[in-house]
Structure 1
């Protein structure tokens, strides 16, 4: 996912420079234990035939592709603010022979009508947003979910050890991780109108604790 520049409401690449985008996938695999975390998200979401699923801040498309492979009869949409990273996502999907819709747009200003999706997932996206953008993005997630829909997220969570706390303090200097490491995500989800909020897993990574959540709407 692309980081949003609060001062200009624009964006910069997830690794800060377009020249580094080609390293995005290796960084995700090593720094964030992407494999186990995204496998957990796919299992948790359990897409079904005919469902429409949004991968919010899809990056290079890894999770969207996994979701489509898990249920080819689901409609999977990937959205990101970085047009260049979407080029990579399209190429990966073509190589995997899966049909995914790729859209350009901002997480806090979703270009979709109300009730467009059965499920929305945000994997390592929310920490790229300012607090105000997180609030707006989550409200928009609630808006685009259908009744009975579900929201799934993976992002920085409360550090479990002293070493994780030290990493978290360092990370907070570089990204908008404070809401995550101080345990505010569940309340942000509820404030946006989501309910049945549950933390389902956490992972110790070289960059800090990554938590996985699930929520829904009535």
Structure 2
């Protein structure tokens, strides 16, 4: 899937997550609160998959003392993030690339929202290890993405539910079906227990599920 190289898709990006991800605004708020449990008032936060700027905007509005390093492989999405952030961009450094383009830190907290489901398993593990290496000891890391059971028939069922939620949120049925088919064919989605194990294999501890919304799951863990 290459939606973030399509100029029209990039322009419409901000419309997508609220209609496709159950409780999207609350997910962002929960992530902010989980980070704030341990992050100081002047925290430096690493945001992996920061294109579009939606989560940085939510965090920056809630926490006036936080500053951010955002990383994204799409130059167009980074440009959109700058527009989304407006004056808040003064507290943000945006980096074009993948995890290796992120500063070494050490950071007080990190997030990766709606991103890792694009990444193959081995590269996902490497990415998680590189995130942990950039965090201070005990720093929180919040992650959320597609994650649901992968047994016989379960993948199709959960993706059908994803499409049904999109339609109920106002997405045209044909568009929802096209998205479902593309996700089924192209995204390396894992089962929740596999996602949790990858976090542990990357060296994180205290892995806790904090969010479940139909086909999406979210965890907090600690470096």
The bucket for the TM-score relative to the shorter chain is: 0.7 to 0.9
User: In structure 1, what is the Cα distance between the partners aligned to 2:184 and 2:205?
Assistant: 27
**Which one has the largest radius of gyration?**
2
- After TM superposition, the structure 1 = structure 2 runs for residues 1-218 of structure 1, keeping only pairs within 5 Å, are 12-14=2-4, 17-33=6-22, 34-46=24-36, 47-94=39-86, 99-107=91-99, 109-113=100-104, 115-159=105-149, 163-164=157-158, 166=160, 171-177=183-189, 179=190, 181=191, 183-204=193-214, 209-217=215-223
Residues 146 and 18 (structure 1), Cα distance of their counterparts in 2 relative to 1, 3 Å cut: same
Segments ≥4 residues shifted beyond 3 Å? 95-98, 165-172
TM-score by length of 2: 0.79
Please, what is the CA RMSD of the aligned residues? Answer: 2.5
Q: Provide, for residues 61-95 of structure 1, a one-character-per-residue CA deviation record: whole Å limited to 9, x for no partner.
A: 01011111111111122111111111111111116
How many residues were matched structurally? Answer: 198
Q: Which 5+ residue runs of structure 1 have no aligned equivalent?
A: 4-11
Report the Cα distance in structure 1 between the residues aligned to 2:119 and 2:89, rounded to whole angstroms: 32
CA contact (8 A) 1:37 1:203 kept: no
Q: Which one has a larger percent strand, Structure 1 or Structure 2?
A: 1
Q: TM-score, normalised by structure 1?
A: 0.81
- The structure carrying a bigger helix percent of its residues is 2
The alpha carbon displacement at 1:164 in A equals: 2.1
Structure 2 unaligned regions, length at least 5: 163-179
Aligned-residue offset at 1:28: 1.2
Looking at structure 2, the residues matched to 158 and 201 of structure 1 have their Cα atoms a distance apart, in angstroms, of 12
Q: Secondary structure at the match of 1:158?
A: coil
- Considering Cα pairs closer than 8 Å and 6+ residues apart, tell me whether 1 or 2 has the greater RCO: 2
SS in 2 for 1:183: helix
CA contact (8 A) 2:69 2:102 kept: no
Contact 2:129 2:203 in 1 (8 A): yes
State the 1:121 CA deviation.
Answer: 0.2
